[in-house]
Homo-oligomer: A and B are copies of this chain.
Amino acid sequence: MTPDALAKACAAKLWEPDTCSQWLGMQLEEVRPGYARISMKVRPEFLNGHGICHGGLMFTLADSTFAFACNSHNAPTVAAGCSIEFLKPVQGNDTLTAVGQEQILSGRHGIYDIRVSNSAGEVVAMFRGKSAQLKGQIIDNP
């Protein structure tokens, strides 16, 4: 299996039981080794007390994108820690797109940067995730 086919197979295997990402209406648009892109529409139930998209839901989109990017090498991988900077408020009904890119993979630890943009193409949040690989494989004997 090529690295690209393996990344897609890992994503398919993780997406199917990923109730949360599906429930929130995320669309897994593209996965490659160390890369993922996911979009999500801001539903009325995502709004907070200021009438804008809850930062937690923007984080959740970025975190899912991080997960698919860092699980693309067939090693089961979890988030150790994440940080996010909020740059612009997001209105209801907008569609957000998160693009995640591996910055470095050093032993079992990796760093991934995810940019979240609105439908006007403006970056609304920047996310950085630190990953830790567990033992085992996502796809047995690929």
0/1 interface trace, chain A 83-99, chain B, CB 8 Å (1 if under): 11111110000000000
Contact, CB under 8 Å: B56 / A60 = yes
Contact, CB under 8 Å: B86 / A80 = yes
Is the contact region of chain A dominated by helix, strand, or loop, or is it mixed?
Answer: mixed
Contact, CB under 8 Å: B126 / A111 = yes
Q: Does A130 contact B (CB under 8 A)?
A: yes
Contact, CB under 8 Å: A67 / B79 = no
Interface size class of A (residues with CB under 8 A): 35 or more
With A18-B48, A19-B48, A48-B18 known as contacts, the answer to whether A55 contacts B79 (CB < 8 A) is yes
With A20-B57, A49-B17, A59-B59 known as contacts, the answer to whether A109 contacts B87 (CB < 8 A) is yes
A residues lining the B interface (CB < 8 Å): 13-21, 23, 44-51, 54-57, 59-64, 67, 71, 76, 78-89, 103-104, 106, 109, 111, 113, 123, 126, 128, 130
21 A-B pairs (CB sep. < 8 Å): A17-B51, A19-B44, A20-B46, A20-B48, A20-B56, A23-B45, A48-B64, A50-B76, A54-B64, A56-B56, A56-B57, A56-B64, A59-B63, A60-B60, A78-B86, A79-B86, A80-B85, A81-B86, A87-B106, A87-B109, A104-B123
